[in-house]
Structures are given as C-alpha cells and as structure tokens.
Amino acid sequence: MITILQIVLFTVLCGVAGFLAFKGYRRVYRNIMLGMKANYSDNPSQRLNNMLLVALGQKKMFKNVIPAILHVFIYVGFVITQIELIEIFIDGFTGSHRIIYHAVENIPFLKGFYVFTISFIEVASLFVLFATLAFLTRRWILKVPRLNKPELKGWPIKDATIILLAELYLLTCIFSMNAGDMALHNSEYGFLVSGWLVPLFSGMSNTTIYIVEKLGWWGHMIGVLAFLVYLPYSKHLHILLAFPNTYFGRLTPKGYIANMPEITKEIKSMMNPEPAPATDTPVEAIKFGARDVFDLTWKNLLDAYTCTECGRCSAACPANLTGKKLSPRKIMMDTRDRLEDVGRSIEANNGIWKEDGKSLIENGYISVEELRACTTCNACVEECPVMISPLEIIVQLRRNLVMEESNAPNEWQGMFANMENNGAPWQFSQQDRLNWEKA
Amino acid sequence: MADMAASGQTPEVLFWVGCAGSFDQRAQKVTRSFVKILNHLNIKFAVLGKEESCTGDPAKRAGNEFVFQMLALQNIEVLNGYSVKKIVTTCPHCFNILKNEYPSLGGNYEVLHHSTFLQQLIDAGKIKITDTTTFKGKKITYHDSCYLGRANEVYEAPRKVLEELDAELIEMKSCRTKGLCCGAGGAQMFKEDEKGNKRINIERVEQALETNAQIVASACPFCNTMLTDGVKTKDKLNVKVFDIAELLAAGQGLETVDLQ
C-alpha cells in the first residue's frame, strides 16, 4: 500500500514538475523568438567545434584559472550525479530500492562497477562541496569586485546565492541518502565517502536512520525537480543555453560589424539616380538599428538568456574600469529584463503584444549615457566564456539613436557633417590630404 | 595613384594614409617614417591623395551607417577604378573596416596593417638594422590596439617589428587579448568622455609606466594621441610614445627619434 502511494506521489511530483518546467522553457523559447530572423546555418563543423571546445570543454573559462577549476568541479559533479538520478527515477516509478544494485549484486564485475560509480559520484560531490563553499566565500566574504557591482543588487545576487545554497542542499540529500542506506545495510554497498559518514549514525534506531535515508532520497529528487522548474527563471540557465549559444556564436573577426543592406540600396540609388525605381518599402517604413528587443536578432536575445552574470565582461570594460556608467553585463541583464517584461505583458494579454510605450532604451533599462561610453574595444566579447556579444546590442541601439532620432552628442554631429562634406572627421579640406609630404 | 595610372604603371601596393595620417601632425610624422621605409626598400607604392576619403569607421561605430556607407561606396568606386589589389595602412581602424566591412559592399582587396607588412619585409630579410646605439639598453612596451589585436588577432607582427631593435621588450599587465583600450575607439576620439572617475588613457598610461619603459610603442594613430596625452598628463617627460614604423625607420638610420 505504502509502495503504491509512493509511486503515485512520485509520478504526480514528476508530472507537475515536468509541466511547470515545460511551460518555463517554452516561455523562454517564445521570448527568444520575438527577435528578428538571422541565419546561422553556415559552417556547421566549425560551429560544432566551438560548442565542444567552449561550452563542453570550458576553453574560455581557463583565462581565469582558479574560478575555472572551481567551476569545473561543479560542472563535472553536476553531470556525474545525473547517473545516480537514473536509478532514483527507476526506483521512484517502480517502488523498488536500489534496483540497479540488486540486479547486479551477484555479478562481481558489474557490482564492482556500480559501487565504483556511486563512490565516484560521492568523490565528485566532495569537490562540488569544496567549490560551492569557495564560491560562497568569493561572493560573500572576499567580495570579489565583479560579483558585487551595483547591477547585481536585489534579485540577481539572491538568484546566485539560491543556486549555491541549493547545491549544498542537494549534497546534504545525496550524502544522507547514501550514508543512511549504508548504515541500514551494514555498509554492504561499500560506497567510499558515505562509508566514512556511517559512524555518525551510531546509537540511532533503525527507524531514525530509515527516515534520514528517505528524507535524503525524496529531498534529492524534489530538489532536482525544483531546480529543473527554477532554471528557466534564473541566470543559471547558462548550463543549458551555453551549448546553443556557442554553436550559434559569431565566426567573423571580432572587429567586423555587419553592414546594413537596406542602407546600401538607398545610397546606391542616391549615387546613381537615373533609374529611380519606386521602391516597395519607403525609407520611412524601415527602422534603423534597434529600439526594443523586437529589433534585435534572436541570437542577441539568446545571448541575454545565456548570460550568467559572471561579470568578466564588465571587469575588462575600459569604460566600466574608469567609473563610467556602462557595464556590458548590465546591457545583457537589461535586455533580458526587458524581454521578460515584454513576455509577461504578452501572457497577460492572451498571447498578444500590446505596445506599452516603453523600449529597451531608457525606461529603466539601457540609458543613452551607457551606450555612448562604449569604445567598441571588444574586451567584453573577448572575455565572455560563452561567446555573448554585448557589443552587437550596443551598436544596434546606437544606430537607432543616431539614425532615427539624431540623438548624438554635438561633437559627433559635427564629425558626421565633416565626414559628409570633406571626407574626414575633422574640418580639413580633402585638397590638403597630401600635406603630410611637407615636413 | 592618378599619376601612376596615367603613365600606365601598377603599384605593388596602395598605401592607405587615412585621415589621421593625412591631417594629424603627430600621425603625419608616422606617415613620413613609413614612406621612408618604403622608399628605402624601393617598394613601388601609390597613395590616393586627394581622392582618398575617410573609410567611415568613426561614423559606423557611432551608429551612423548612412555616412559610413556613403564614404565606403565612394572609396570603393575609386579603388576599383584603379583596380587596386593590395592595400597597406598605418591605421588599425582603416585596416579593420577595409578588410572586414568593405567586401560585402563590393570592395575586395588584400588588406594589411603596416605591422604585418613590415614583419613580412623583416621575414624576407629586407630590413637591415644599422643603428645599434639609439635603442641599446632601452625598454620598450607595446600597447595593443583593439582594432589590430582583439578585432583581427594581429598580436605578434608589431612585436616582431620591435624585436628587430636592440631594446628590451616588456609587456604591460594587460596585453594581447587582454590589452586595455586607449579610450579612443568607437568614435570616443571625437567626443568628450562620459562621466566617470578617470580617463581611460590615464588608466592605460599608468600600466605602461609601471613597466618603467622609456618608450611606449603603438601601432595606431589614435592610440598614439591618447597615450601621448596620458604621458603628458602624468608629467612623465622622459617617456616617449612612438609608432612602430618610426622606431623601425630609426633602427634603419632613416629617422632620428628623440628619446630625451
């Protein structure tokens, strides 16, 4: 009877979590697809290579060795503990207990492999424990500057801490589960790390140990499901999106900023006015650059959801280093926040977007002052471990400011005029271009 | 270029002087040094002179694609009119935009920054260092230009050029992929800084001064201006900022550099 109840409860929990998670991920996908079309179907092998090196292999993380190693501990630990989850799920759906162990317990080689695997997971978990405590220390005690910037105030820093505490919670569950099980069965499983913990149960009744073991098992399982549901609302989504984001990452030199073909058409007809054909889209109908998330490409929006707010970009940004308001991380966070706000508004209006009179520029999102501070130096792009480009968004927003609103500092207006009139950013005559010859 | 074309000659390479190289007094000196090297090695080159316009870089980075493309299309018409195949330029911004952004507008050329061009000449054994005293015992630190380094991954060529000189090359704490911007890019050169607590060039010059180098080498006219300003602001009159072309010309005895 109890077993059937357990199976039902387990199935219901999985079903509810699965449904909530599905809704969460579908929401993220819908929001990303609000962006403009862009084609990334070129060079699949090079893209795959980038994904394997940068996302799977963490290549860009290793520019910063200590956090990279700690991050690898958590990353590897996270992936490896998924193996134990397979058994937890089979046990949950069938009401069995350690079904894989019992299936192989009489085959020495396979039994040995099982024990090795679980012990390996336990050792990996110890590394996770170490790295998690180190990360909490970096964030809250050492106060590493990039993890304590103003744009992280409020929800972002809570989100980061929740994730780290959730790691500690999951580790506690894994070890209570395994060590409890060992204590109940005279350590017959022979798991390495939980074997060391068995003495902690001495003097406890078997019922108490049984409860600890079950709390660990259910706690772990519920923790995993909660994590799955939480993920699409968290910066931690990078653990999944790092893969597509590096696959669709830019392959062109960092200095390249794509030209706008719609403008080429305009200028060619200006330079060569004879045919002057009636164009299908009048210039007024074309929007230059980006004012809102809809004007960015889906890749820019994927960038925003992939960002895990590590702040390597802002720590390298020359404007940010010298006290300017610009922070490339904030560009990504604002883009995602605006996109989330737009998404919520769409949900509130039965799936239809109603103009809210706001945009990504100003309105509490990205300010003009931030946009103007960028030197386009690509330090942020270079630093990002998951190939995000804050610069692409900055340039698109600048284009909108300058070409749609003539919103540029006076010096820039003068520079544009000089470039148009005398082909140089300064007011020199083109006739004097050879003056360098006269020493 | 017009003269060469009229007499039916084809240059080996077109030297794209750029606006700074044409008009900025400091950058004009770099232009002259580079030309001295070209002439010394009997390299047949041409310049567009009055037919050259700004590549459009500052407009493009500021967000004005109209002005950029107007200039780019004009320049491409001129370059294609002369059937230009190979371009060398002393400006990383011109280099980047000519190499990366002109092709899709119809301008396809082999584009080299002068650091790479000079490195190729060194590799071919054409550069002979004759002045072995000027740089003896001196320390040089090289400042990576963003548009040369991160933007196009040219990190080694300028260093190779400097290694030719009899000086010690020291790196700043941020170099190569981590090189700190001078503060001029993205059309910042042409406007006041946004509010902050420091100018970017000061931050960078402080890094340069930490190396105790007497010479800060740059490979970009805008970096040169920013670094020179920074050194002046810091009152370090004994530290000099030079372009790699000026230093290499001096090494060949074609130029004198004032290190006092």
Scanning A322-383, the segments in alpha helix (DSSP H) are 328-348, 368-372, 379-383
Last residue of a domain, one of A182, A215, A248: A215
Q: Output the pLDDT for position A274.
A: 65
Residue A260 sits at the chain B interface (C-beta within 8 Å): yes
Distance (Å) from the alpha carbon of B25 to chain A's nearest alpha carbon? 8
Of A399, A403, A434, Cβ closest to residue B50: A434
Angle at A227 between CA A223 and CA A231, to 5 degrees: 175
Q: Closest chain A residue to B58 measured between Cα atoms?
A: A425
Question: Is the model's pLDDT at A240 over the cut of 90?
Answer: yes
All residues of chain B having their beta carbon less than 8 Å from the beta carbon of residue A314 are none
Instruction: Map out the domains of chain B as residue ranges.
Output: 2-120, 128-251
Please report whether residue A127 resides in a domain: yes
A55 CA: distance to closest CA in chain B (Å): 20
Is residue A281 very low, low, confident or very high in pLDDT (cuts 50, 70, 90)? Answer: low
Compute the distance between CA of residue B27 and CA of residue B258 in angstroms, rounded to an integer.
Answer: 16
Closest to B243 in 3D by CA, of B25, B101, B31, B53: B31
Is A430 inside any structural domain? no
Name the strand (E) or helix (H) holding A299.
helix A298-306
Residues A267 and A400 in one domain: yes
Interface residue of A272, A317, A322, A380 to substitute, partner B, most B CBs within 10 Å: A322
Inspect the interface and report whether the beta carbons of A424 and B22 lie closer than 8 Å: yes
Reported as a pLDDT band with limits 50, 70 and 90, residue A68 is: very high
Query: Do the domain assignments include residue A67?
Result: yes
- Candidates A264, A324, A419; nearest CB to B105: A264
pLDDT digits (tens, 9 = 90+) for A179-206: 999 999 988 999 999 999 999 999 999 9
Phi, psi of A370, deg, nearest 5: -60, -45
Query: CB distance B62–A322 less than 8 Å?
Result: no
A162 exposure class (CB count in 10 Å sphere: 0-12, 13-18, 19+): middle
- CA A392 to chain B, closest CA, distance in angstroms equals 11
Q: How far apart are CA A136 and CA A167, in angstroms?
A: 11
Residue A217 predicted with pLDDT over 70: yes
Regarding whether A279 and A186 lie in a shared domain, the answer is no
Across the A:B interface, residue pairs with CB atoms under 8 Å apart total: 213
B67 with A420: Cβ contact below 8 A: yes
**Six-digit token string for B93:** 């911004």
Q: What is the pLDDT of residue B108?
A: 98
Let me know the angle formed at the C-alpha of B190 by B100 and A334, rounded to the nearest 5 degrees: 70
Q: Tell me the chain A residues in contact with residue B48 when contact means C-beta distances shorter than 8 Å.
A: 433
Residue A208 banded pLDDT, cuts 50, 70, 90: very high
Counting every residue written for chain A, the total comes to 439
Neighbours of B7 (CB within 10 A): 7
Cβ-contact A432, B23 below 8 angstroms: yes
Which residue on chain B is closest to A424 by alpha carbon? B54
> Do both A74 and A167 map to the same domain?
yes
- Determine the 3-state secondary structure of B169 from DSSP: strand
CATH number assigned to the domain comprising residue A328:
1.10.1060
Mean pLDDT value across residues A236-242: 97
**Do A187 and A303 belong together in one domain?**
no
Distances (CA, A) of A112 to A88, A117, A183, A198, A217: 19, 9, 19, 20, 22
CB atoms B62 and A424 under 8 Å: no
Indicate the residue of B28, B31, B69 with minimum beta-carbon distance to A263: B69
**Domain stop point among A215, A242, A271:** A215
Chain A residues within 8 A of B200 when measuring between CB atoms: 318-319, 321-322, 375
Token pair of A398 as six digits: 């600048």
Establish if A229 belongs to a structural domain: no
- Average the pLDDT over A282-296 and give the result: 84
Q: Which helix (H) or strand (E) holds B141?
A: strand B139-142
Q: Specify the number of domains making up chain A.
A: 2
Taking only Cα atoms into account, the Rg of chain B, rounded to an integer number of angstroms, comes to: 18
- Which residues does A412 contact at the CB level (< 8 Å), separation at least 6? A402, B62, B64, B187, B190, B191
Q: Do A320 and A183 belong to one domain?
A: no
Q: Which CATH architecture has domain B2-120?
A: 3-Layer(aba) Sandwich (3.40)
Helices (H), chain B: 2-6, 18-23, 25-40, 57-62, 65-81, 92-96, 114-123, 156-163, 200-210, 221-233, 244-251
Best mutation site among A416, A431, A435 for testing chain B: the one with the most B CBs within 10 Å? A416
Interface probe, candidates A60, A374, A375, A391, chain B, greatest B C-beta count within 10 A: A375
Query: Are the C-beta atoms of residues B188 and B201 closer than 8 Å to each other?
Result: no
Across the range A29-38, mean pLDDT stands at 97
Low-confidence ranges of chain B (pLDDT < 50): none
The count of other CB atoms within 10 Å of the CB of residue A78 is 16
Asked if A318's CB is within 8 angstroms of B200's CB, the reply is yes
Q: Which residues of A touch B207 (CB under 8 A)?
A: none
**What's the half-sphere exposure (Cβ side, CA atoms, 13 Å) at A63?**
17
Residues of chain A with Cβ-Cβ distance to B62 below 8 Å are 398, 402, 408, 412, 415-416
**What is the rounded average pLDDT of the residues A130-134?**
98
Residues A70 and A193 in one domain: yes
Give yes or no for a contact between A384 and A312, defined as CB atoms under 8 angstroms apart. Answer: yes
* Res. A228: pLDDT tops 70: yes
Inter-chain touch B152–A255, beta carbons under 8 Å: yes
What's chain B's average pLDDT? 96
Whether residue A386 is predicted with pLDDT greater than 80 in this model: the reply is yes
A206 and A269 together in one domain:
no
Q: Binning pLDDT at 50, 70 and 90, where does residue A45 land?
A: very high
Phi, psi of A274 (to 5 degrees): -50, -55
Using the 3D structure, point to which of A149, A183, A215 is the last residue of a domain: A215
Q: Best interface-test mutation with B: which of A251, A262, A283, A376 has the largest number of B CBs within 10 A?
A: A376
Residue A145 lies in domain: 58-215
Write the DSSP symbol of residue A61: G
Q: Which band of pLDDT confidence, cut at 50, 70 and 90, is reported for residue A285?
A: low
Residue of chain B nearest A415, judged by CA positions? B190
Q: Which band of pLDDT confidence, cut at 50, 70 and 90, is reported for residue A273?
A: low
> Which residues in chain A touch residue B96, judged by CB atoms under 8 angstroms apart?
253, 255-256
Which residues on chain B are in Cβ contact (under 8 Å) with A436?
17, 21-22, 28, 31-32
Helix (H) or strand (E) holding A109: helix A108-140
pLDDT of residue A199: 94
State the smallest CA–CA distance between residue B255 and chain A in angstroms. 13
Residue of A402, A430, A436 with shortest CB distance to B62: A402
| CA–CA separation, A71 and A167 (whole Å) | 13
Same domain, A191 and A267: no
A89 to chain B, closest Cα gap in Å: 46
Pairing type for strands B139-142 and B215-218 reads parallel
- Residue A5 lies inside a defined structural domain of this protein: no
pLDDT at A286 over 80: no
ipTM of the complex: 0.96
Does residue A66 fall inside a structural domain? yes
**Exposed, middle or buried, B17 (CB in 10 Å: 0-12/13-18/19+)?**
buried
Task: Tell me if chain B has a CB within 8 Å of the CB of A384.
Answer: no
Check residue B2 and give its pLDDT: 83
Rounded-to-integer distance, Cα A159 and Cα A386, Å: 19
Closest among B58, B225, B191 to A369, alpha carbons compared: B191
**What is the nearest CA distance from A391 to chain B, expressed in angstroms?**
10
Cβ contact (<8 Å) for B181 and A379? yes
- A62 and A206 both lie in a single domain: yes
- What is the model's pLDDT at position A280? 57
CATH architecture of the domain with range B128-251 = 3-Layer(aba) Sandwich (3.40)
- Give the DSSP letter of residue B101: I
In a domain, A123, yes or no: yes
Residue A37 lies in a domain: no
Q: Which residues of B190-221 are buried (b: 16+ CB within 10 A; e: fewer)?
A: bbebbebeebbbbbbbebbbebebbbbbbbbb
